[in-house]
Chains A and B, each alone.
Chain A
Amino acid sequence: MRFWEKPFGKEKPKTICGEIHIINDRCKGCSFCIEYCPRNVLEVSKDFNKKGYHPPIVVKPDMCTFCGLCEMICPDFAIFVIEKEDE
C-alpha cells in the first residue's frame, strides 16, 4: 500500500537496527548463527581463523533487526549484537 500523503504530525517509525560483532578467533565454525538468523544476515566466510575454522561474515548489515538470536545460540560466545545508534 502506498501513501500519497504523509500522515500529519507523525514521524517516520523507527526500525531498530543491530550491529553485529564477530570475534573471529573464538569461533568454532558450527554455523548455528548462519542457519538460525531470521533475516540471513550472515554467511560462511572464505577466510580461516586462527583455529582453522570458517567464521561467519556479515553480508547484509542493514537487514539486522537486533533480535539477538545469534548471540543467544552461539556456543562459543563469539558473536554479539549491539543496538545501532541513530545517525
Chain B
Amino acid sequence: MANNTAQLQEKSHPMEDLLRMDRMPHIWCSGCGLGSAVTAFVEGLKKAGVSYDKTAIVSGIGCTGRVAGYLRLDSYHTTHGRAIPFATGLKLANRDLTVVVFSGDGDLFAIGGNHLIHAARRNVDINVICVNNFIYGMTGGQNAPTTPLGAYSSTAPFGNYEMPFNLVGLAAASGASYVARWTTMHARRLTDSIATAANKKGFCFIEIVSPCPTVFARKNKGGTGLDMLKEFQTRAIIDHDADPTTIPLNMDNEIVCGEFVNDDRPTFWENVQAGIKARLEKFANWEEMQSNSRKISHKKDRKYTSSRDSSIMRRNT
C-alpha cells in the first residue's frame, strides 16, 4: 500500500489533462453515472482523433449541465434548455468546430424540447449527448418528462400518471442522422458510439441511461447506484435493428440499447449553401434573361440603351 501511494505521486490520472482539476472533486453523488459518461465522452474524443482545440462543449442547467464546467475544453454553460440554440449558433459561426451538447433529459426534453426537435429537423451538424436519469436530480426529484409511468417522485407521491417521452424515438422521428442509446454500464460501446458521432456529419443523438441513486432510486426503492447499474445490466439488451419509436423506457421493461439510426442526410449548412447557390444561379440567369428581354423590347426604340434611362423615361411620361 505504501508502495502504491509512492507511485501515485509520480503519476497522475490520464484524464487530468482534459479535466479542470481545480474544480475537482465534482458535485455528483456517490453512485451517479455522470462521471462514467464523462469518461466515456473523453475516451470517445480521444478515439475519434478530434482536435481538442477544435472541440466545443455546450451544456444547459442541471446535474449534467455541470459537465461543461469540468472539462478543459472550450465550454459554454448556457441558460436552462437553450444549449442547442447556443450550439447551433456556434456551429454555424465557426464550422470547423466539433460542437457537442452534453446535457440532461430535463434540460433537453422538458424546457428545451422544441429546440431539440427543430435542430434534428434541420439536421444541424452537432452531437447531442443526453444523460437520462428519469428525474430532475438537482432540484430535488421532481417529475420529469422521462419519469416512467407509475414511478414515484417528489411531485408524484402516488406514482406518476404521465406517459414519458421516448427520447430515441423522438429524435429519430424528428430526423436525426444518428441515434443511439446506451447505459453507463456499456462503457466501451458508449465510447465507440461517441467516437462515431464525433466524426459523423449531421445531427447525432446519443441517450445515456444513468442511475440516480440519491433521488430516483430512493423514491423508487432502487437501492444504491451499484444496484441500479446491476438492474440495468439485467434489463439491457442490445438490438441495433430495433425500431426506436417502439422501445420506450418503463419501470421494468427491457432497456433496448444500440445504434438505431445511422443515415446520411444533407446538413443544415449544406442545404443553406445549396439554396444560396441555386438562387445565385437563378439570379445570373435572370440577369441574362432581363438583358435579352431588354434587347427585344427596346428594338423599337433604340434611343434608350440602359434600363435606368428607360425607367426615367417611363416616370417622365
Contacts and interface: CB of A to CB of B under 8 A. Distances in A.
Interface of A: 19, 21-24, 26, 28-32, 35-36, 53, 57-58, 69, 71-78, 80, 82
A72 B30 contact: no
Interface of B: 1, 4-5, 7-8, 11, 13-16, 19, 24-26, 28-36, 39-40, 43, 184-185, 187-188, 191, 224-226, 229-230
B133 to A, nearest CB: 13
Contacts, number: 81
A22 B24 CA distance: 16
A75 B35 contact: yes
B1 A57 contact: yes
B25 A26 contact: yes
A35 to B, nearest CB: 6
A32 B25 contact: no
Contacts of A75: 28, 31-36, 39
Given A69-B187, A73-B185, 18 more contacts: A21-B11, A21-B13, A22-B8, A24-B5, A29-B30, A30-B224, A32-B31, A35-B226, A36-B185, A58-B4, A72-B39, A74-B36, A75-B31, A75-B32, A75-B35, A77-B35, A80-B13, A82-B11
Contacts of A26: 24-25
A29 B225 CA distance: 10
Contacts of B25: 26, 28, 76
Contacts of B191: 72
